[in-house]
A and B are shown apart, each in its own frame.
Chain A
Amino acid sequence: MRTGRARVVRLAALIAAGSLVVAACGGGNIEEAPAAQEGDAECGDFNIAINPWVGYEASAHVVGYVAATELGCNIEYKSLKEEVAWQGFGSGEVDVVIENWGHDDLKQKYIEEQGTAQDAGPNGNVGVIGWYLPPWMVEEYPDITEWENLNKYAEMFRTSESGDKGQLLDGDPSFVTNDEALVQNLGLNFTVVYAGSEPALIQAFRQAEENQEPLLGYFYAPQWFLSEIALVKVNLPPYEEGCDADPETVACDYPEYILDKIVATDFAESGSPAYDLVANFEWTNDDQNLVAKYIAEDGMDPEDAAAQWVEDNPDVVEGWLG
């Protein structure tokens, strides 16, 4: 019986090998894909990191689409969290991070100390971090957008998570937050509750608007969700240079972030035409919001969304190609 079984197995192996040979010799007449557009053959592989938010995806795919169609680059999109992407500069696995929010510690480490990355200038987008309210609340309580009035309404914001204080919903763990210190230093009768992720924040705001429930939360622009519901920003004491220097005593709003592009040093020095494209790439928050809306709300494939926008804005694209 043992030998019988062994023979079956051997036979099976033989057939498997045979069928592979047959297949390998016989097949292969599917038309081969056209080799990447000739044009500038020097572009070669172009590795774009995709950080996990839709606005970033929009910028990355527009740059990728232009690089592929106009420069003949072979685009590799790599889905990575921010810090992982920065780690990839040194090993040649990532060429560009197209939308960087501050990250002074990473700049210090990878640009100043290791020298594996370079700043490639602003991408035209401006990041605004702050405390936001669903629009129905601002209609109902017009003075609520001034921080001095928040305590008056604190009671309303109580939830099962915030105990006897009002809830300030924080939450995307990727973003730096001073909110615990801000609440304390501004003497607000609130407590910070950590929602823990961007979807959690968005879902909370969506329901707050739908069901007319009170909600105060940490949010940011540009973000596709703002085109679904136009959250209103609370006016905290205005930001001044250096007012957030000491995280313990900070009592002012967040600075505006000039979002910039970071590239691998090797990539910058390679003479790739894709580097020039990245260096010239610049667009507005409205541009990005539009493409992000195509992706997030209209359910378009990011590549199609990028193609659509590029087709509609030939002059802007022309400018990047210099």
Chain B
Amino acid sequence: MTAVAERPAAPAAPEPPPTAQQQQRDPVRRTGVLLAAILGIWALGWALFKGTATLPLGRATLTDFQRSLNDLRDAFDAARDSNFFLETVVGGASDGLEALVTAAQNLLSQPAFPRPVPEIGWLGVLAVAAWIAYALAGVRSTILVVVSFLAFGVFGFWTESIDLLIITFTAVLISVAVGIPLAIAMARSRTVTTVVTPVLDVMQTMPSFVYLLPLVLLFSIGPSAAVVATLIYALPPVVRITAHGLRTVAPSTIEATTSMGSTRAQLLRKVQLPMAKQTIIVGVNQTMMAALSIATIAALIDGPGLGEPVIEALQTLDIGTAFVSGLCIVIIAIMLDRTTTAASERAEAERRTAVHDPRRRRAALIGGGVVAAVAVYLSRSYLWAADPDTLPDLGRPLADAVGSATEWFTDTFGQLTGAIKDGFTYGLLNPFQSLLADSPWWLVAAALLAVAFLIGGWRPALTTAVCLAVIFGVGLWQDSMVTLGMTLVATVLVMFLAVVFGVWMGRSKRADTALRPLLDAGQTIPPFVYLVPALALFGPSRFTAIVAAIVYAGPAAIKLVADGIRGVAPTTVEAARSAGSSTFQIITKVQLPMARGALVLASNQGLLYVLSMVVIGGLVGGGALGYTVVSGFSQAQLFGKGLAAGIAIVALGIMLDRITQHAAARQGRR
């Protein structure tokens, strides 16, 4: 579940003219030859030493290191009542958060004792939300908000949806309050950046299953632990993206301001923050999306929201209900995404154009405010306006329809998909996994280091060495290699889809419009919703885990490639066409090569997204690290092993990220 937010695409690197590209064929080809050589030596070593020094570890066996993590947890548990810091500071923060969330719930979503309904009923909440959307974003957003809130009601998940919004907003507010100052510090100081970046990496790649239990020890069961779990995962995007935005404010602008005698504070407030505003809002937006993706996990520690119905439906394999509640999460995500984007565009437009009519707008705002106030009044006075159960119920019929449609689909195609799974597993996955997991550890380590050096340079090779040492140290080498194999295979498939659909979307506006909502849904629907259909099609297997990862990681990669293709200068494409190139030639010789930066970025993001699904994959037969994390969460005596697996996942993530990032930077320089 730990997705890594999309980094804002770096401004496209200046593309070299075609003639220069001719000269660069050679180093590329040489890299290819060397890679093939590494692979050949590796395969030879595999044939000779297969099955030796693979460092396996039995399911129930713990290493000393893993046991020491258990002891650490126990010491922590014993200290929580006697330690001043834990008792007063953390406990106080926890109580404060809980009070805040409960107050919001009583106001908006949960019965406010002794009333049978919240202080403000559904009609009032809907009207106020619509009014806020109108004030900040405009008419289209207002309509979107009204439709979304009505959907929560008619689908029968009003309370859960509002609860989720409360948790999300609380976590996002704290993220912004903490994240923006942190980002400012990072933009100003290289040291701060060096210290904070690895922390953010860990926060984003550590599976949340690993830290749920310790969080409950600290923040106790309920909303506050849920908010903190959300916060850990949602904070990094806003920090990273804001720091990036501040750093990329043109140096000439800063120069001009400082030369006029501005102080640093003035510079920040009057120039840097306003100029980076668009980027900051992208960051906040990504933080919101990340917060939503934790919803189902937070339900495991009694976090309020839409996660609970999803988990509950999963217990009875009720695909329909899981789908409808998951759909509400998708609706929330799309609503928040489009509204915040519209709000930022609107603010930008207002800043630039002096021509707008404040009087008319003011009148409309006042009118809307009056309507909202009346709606709030009604929702406090009449049960029909307060209790969402009075709305017609479309959730049940929809759930039934989805349930039977899925059943028909899986019954009809079950045999075919089974064959696909077998072919894929025997043909590609098993050999590749064997190469990674059945070779001796020293051979794999040497090969990975060589690859890292070859495509990234000495820096990522150094990172790779450290990460592999960590994986070795936590005692989960073979499991890590199995997971690495699955991750790489899934990423190859993701990139295949990204190129096919990305090119299509990049070339056709209509395809883009049609596919984008589907991609949004794939990124935001909780994986728990499609686990059961995936199981029905492919059975519990590693392939099922790969499919789940593709559903989640594909959309991000596809979007990045589509953006890259669209960014290729139309004049270049036109020139190629007038020179008589066929469509296929234009795609393979012009558009794809020129979008190379986007392709590398897409594979970087694709890899990290796939890796973030390792734990979910463990729930459907992925085994290896994912299963170890889940069992560590489920069984007290395996906690240390689960944590160790989490650390191994972080190490894999950092290793893959650094290698691909440096490869991307090289591509940019070429």
Contacts and interface: CB of A to CB of B under 8 A. Distances in A.
Interface of A: 1, 4-5, 7-8, 11-12, 15-16, 18-20, 22-23, 26-33, 35, 52-54, 57, 78-84, 87-88, 90-91, 93-94, 103, 105-106, 109, 114, 159-161, 169, 171, 173-174, 176-178, 180-181, 192-204, 206-207, 211, 224, 247, 295-297, 299
29 contacts: A11-B366, A12-B135, A12-B365, A32-B115, A54-B315, A78-B221, A79-B308, A80-B221, A81-B301, A82-B634, A83-B635, A83-B636, A84-B213, A84-B300, A84-B301, A160-B430, A160-B541, A178-B60, A193-B621, A194-B618, A195-B621, A198-B315, A199-B532, A199-B535, A200-B535, A200-B621, A203-B539, A204-B535, A211-B415
Interface in B199-238: 212-213, 216-217, 220-222
B302 A159 contact: no
Given A84-B212, A161-B542, 19 more contacts: A11-B362, A11-B365, A15-B369, A26-B380, A26-B381, A30-B382, A81-B633, A87-B216, A160-B425, A171-B540, A173-B634, A193-B623, A194-B627, A196-B540, A196-B626, A197-B619, A203-B539, A207-B414, A211-B415
B578 interface: no
A207 B535 CA distance: 10
A29 B381 contact: yes
B373 interface: yes
10 tightest A-B CB contacts, nearest first? A27-B380, A19-B373, A15-B369, A195-B540, A173-B631, A23-B376, A160-B425, A33-B116, A296-B316, A174-B634
A299 B369 contact: no
Q: How large is the interface on B (under 10, 10 to 19, 20 to 34, 35 or more residues)?
A: 35 or more
Contact of B541 (A33, A87, A106, A161): A161
A84 B430 CA distance: 37
Contacts of B120: 23
A171 B618 CA distance: 10
A53 B376 contact: no
Nearest to A203: B535
Given A11-B362, A54-B315, A180 B299 contact: no
A15 B370 CA distance: 8
A232 to B, nearest CB: 20
B421 interface: yes
A132 to B, nearest CB: 15
A199 B77 CA distance: 32
Contacts, number: 226
Nearest to B78: A114
A299 B543 CA distance: 31
Most chain B CB inside 10 Å of its own CB: which residue of A8, A15, A176, A297? A15
Nearest to B386: A30
A7 B372 CA distance: 20
Contacts of A33: 111, 113-116
Contacts of A296: 315-316
A105 B539 contact: no
B449 interface: no
A247 B62 CA distance: 13
Interface string B376-390: 110111110010000
A93 B299 CA distance: 16
Most chain B CB inside 10 Å of its own CB: which residue of A106, A159, A180, A195? A195
B380 A28 contact: yes
B471 interface: no
B584 interface: no
B311 interface: yes
B94 to A, nearest CB: 10
A26 B377 contact: yes
Contacts of A32: 114-116
B541 A15 contact: no
Contacts of B251: none
B11 interface: no
Contacts of A79: 299-300, 302, 308, 311-312
B32 to A, nearest CB: 32
Contact of A80 (B78, B128, B300, B543): B300
B169 to A, nearest CB: 16
Contacts of B594: none
B426 to A, nearest CB: 6
Given A8-B365, A19-B373, A52-B311, A203 B317 contact: yes
